[in-house]
Amino acid sequence: MPVGVFDSGVGGLGVMNVLMRDFPYENFIYIADSRNFPYGTKSEQEIIKLSERIVRYLISVGVKAIVVACNTVSSVAIPYLQSVATDIPVFGMIQAGAELALKTTKNLKIGVISTPLTAKTHAYRNEIHRLNENASVFEVGSQELVNLVEDGNSENKKAFLLAEEKLSDMLKKEVDTLILGCTHFPFLYRVVRTVVGKNVNIVDPSYEVSAKLTEYFSKNNLYAKNRFSSRKFLTTGDKEAFLDKANIFLDIDIGEVARIDI
């Protein structure tokens, strides 16, 4: 059985890169809900509805775990999606990112850059405070930065100026750790690194999500028995457009993308 992974677009491909490296023999199904991109400016109710239909689709094709490779969905829908998926575990980004940031920070001042909806829900602040009430958390949302990545332009001057504008306040507060709280943002790593300088730790929750999946697979003896793997990439939008982007952002070449109507 494959592992199901989904996002609104290309962001989850960064999570896929980490998962494919850590689980070389697993089958994966990746769904990009490109027709409904962006998620970051929608309401909580819309996000719950959109993600529920993807989870139901993944259940219908048969998956052994679901990775919600989207912070926006993770910030509002995990308990609900888990109740829909019942016995299939659903892994989200927020808990993983919060834990990783707390393992990383020395001064307990943590910044989060995300979509506007993730920032508005304070999902990261709440989760970090649940784990350590002494931490200070500074959250900022930017849909423009997400859109630049989704369009395949992650390293231009506009991205740099936007990142500088969005991050300047939290840098003044002396955060020593910055969570990339949107799965599109690891593709802006070099831009963000240039803006924050070398003394701020940049945390990508994908690594911790993968570690959690590893723990779960080991405990439940769920690793694939075969020594080959299939990776299917599906989109609800234009498949040629998604294929072009996947070839920019994925570490492997994929021959084709299929379109699904859900």
Q: Is the bond preceding residue 2 a cis peptide, omega within 30 degrees?
A: no
Among 16, 34, 58, 71, binds ligand DGL (CB under 6 A): 71
Among 95, 183, 206, 236, binds ligand DGL (CB under 6 A): 183
Indicate the residue among 65 and 149 with the shorter CB distance to ligand DGL: 149
Q: How far is the CB of 116 from ligand DGL (least distance, A)?
A: 8
Please indicate whether residue 98 is annotated as part of the active site. no
Q: Using CB under 6 A, which of the segments 1-9, 193-201, 230-238, 245-253 binds ligand DGL?
A: 1-9
Q: How far apart are CA 50 and CA 241, in angstroms?
A: 21
Q: 161 Cβ partners below 8 Å, 6+ apart?
A: none
| Other C-beta atoms lying within 10 Å of the C-beta of residue 219 | 8
Q: How far is the CB of 253 from ligand DGL (least distance, A)?
A: 22
120 is written with which tokens?
A: 């508005």
177 part of the interface to ligand DGL, by CB under 6 A: no
Among 118, 142, 154, 236, binds ligand DGL (CB under 6 A): 118
Q: How far apart are CA 191 and CA 154, in angstroms?
A: 8
115 part of the interface to ligand DGL, by CB under 6 A: yes
Q: Using CB under 6 A, which of the segments 7-15, 46-54, 203-211, 221-229 binds ligand DGL?
A: 7-15
Q: Using CB under 6 A, which of the segments 4-12, 167-175, 208-216, 231-239 binds ligand DGL?
A: 4-12
Q: Beta strands of 17-157 (E only): which ranges?
A: 28-32, 65-68, 90-91, 109-114, 136-141
- Of 29-48, binders to ligand DGL (CB under 6 A) are 37-40
Q: 139 Cβ partners below 8 Å, 6+ apart?
A: 111, 112, 114, 118, 119, 122, 124, 125, 181
**Counting Cβ atoms within 10 Å, is residue 252 exposed (0-12), middle (13-18) or buried (19+)?**
exposed
Please indicate whether residue 146 is annotated as part of the active site. no
Give contact residues for ligand DGL (rule: CB under 6 A): 7-9, 11, 37-40, 70-72, 115, 118, 146, 182-184
